[in-house]
């Protein structure tokens, strides 16, 4: 397996994507490391689904589309990820399986993947020129951390929106998201710990 890992890490982006398309499992490639994707919890899926349901009609009015965790995002560095949600604007090829120009990506933080999401994936996302916003959505409390690309091209520090009554402003897309909508139907009493 280690020999194949090295070979996969060294493939060009187009060759890696062609290889990955032929596999039964989904694979991410980050910083030269290739790893099979695992499934998420029901809580994880509900939060991602709630956010997508809320965003969809607002995005369509702006000429943008939302995509779930079956669509890959590729970075100029050759990283390949499956964010929980991605948004791109403008026309696209409906047969494509990869987005290279998202304006927003969302990661719902899981205890098993938070470290990777907040470090390696963040580095990959920050290398994508079109990307304006990264959202990190917590599962164990109503909290979304927002990371924005400033007008100077640099990424700002995380800004948290905390509490079920909070609203997250996304001026980049002309949308305000009530956290109550994102966490609808989610009980925090059953949470097994945060992403840290």
Residue 141 belongs to some domain of the structure: yes
Domain count of the chain?
Answer: 1
pLDDT tens-digit profile of 125-135? Answer: 999 999 999 99
CA distance 59 to 178: 15
Question: 3-state secondary structure string, 12-60?
Answer: CHHHHHHHHHCCCCCEEEECCEEEECCCCCHHHHHHHHHHHHHHHHHHH
- Predicted confidence at residue 6, as pLDDT, reads 45
Residue 136 belongs to some domain of the structure: yes
Residue 164 belongs to some domain of the structure: yes
CA distance 3 to 14: 20
CATH of the domain at 146: 3.90.1570.10
**Nearest one of 127, 131, 130, 89 to 106, comparing CA atoms:** 131
Which regions in the chain score pLDDT beneath 70?
1-7, 190-196
Residue 196 belongs to some domain of the structure: no
- Predicted confidence at residue 129, as pLDDT, reads 97
For 181, the domain range is: 40-186
Residue 14 belongs to some domain of the structure: no
- Predicted confidence at residue 185, as pLDDT, reads 94
Half-sphere exposure in the Cβ direction for 49 (13 Å, CA)? 10
Q: Residue 65: helix, strand or coil by DSSP? A: strand
Residue 16 belongs to some domain of the structure: no
Two tokens at 91? 């026309």
Q: Residue 90: helix, strand or coil by DSSP? A: coil
- Predicted confidence at residue 115, as pLDDT, reads 87
Cα 187 → chain centroid: 23
- Predicted confidence at residue 158, as pLDDT, reads 87
Residue 17 belongs to some domain of the structure: no
């Amino acid at each position: 397996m280690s020999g194949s890992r090295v070979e996969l890490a060294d493939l060009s982006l187009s060759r890696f994507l062609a290889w990955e398309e032929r596999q039964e499992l989904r694979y991410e490639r980050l910083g030269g490391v290739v790893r099979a994707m695992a499934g998420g919890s029901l809580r994880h899926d509900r939060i991602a689904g709630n956010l997508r349901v809320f965003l969809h009609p607002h995005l369509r009015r702006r000429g943008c589309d939302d995509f779930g965790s079956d669509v890959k995002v590729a970075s100029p560095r050759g990283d390949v990820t499956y964010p929980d949600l991605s948004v791109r604007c403008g026309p696209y090829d409906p047969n494509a399986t990869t987005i290279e120009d998202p304006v927003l990506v969302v990661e719902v933080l899981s205890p098993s993947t938070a470290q990777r999401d907040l470090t390696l994936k963040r580095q990959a996302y920050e290398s994508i020129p079109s990307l304006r916003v990264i959202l990190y959505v917590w599962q164990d409390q109503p909290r979304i951390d927002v990371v924005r690309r400033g007008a100077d091209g640099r990424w700002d520090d995380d800004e948290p929106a905390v509490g079920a009554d909070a609203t997250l402003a996304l001026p980049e897309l002309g949308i305000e998201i009530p956290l109550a909508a994102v966490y609808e139907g989610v009980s925090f009493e059953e949470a097994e710990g945060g992403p840290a």
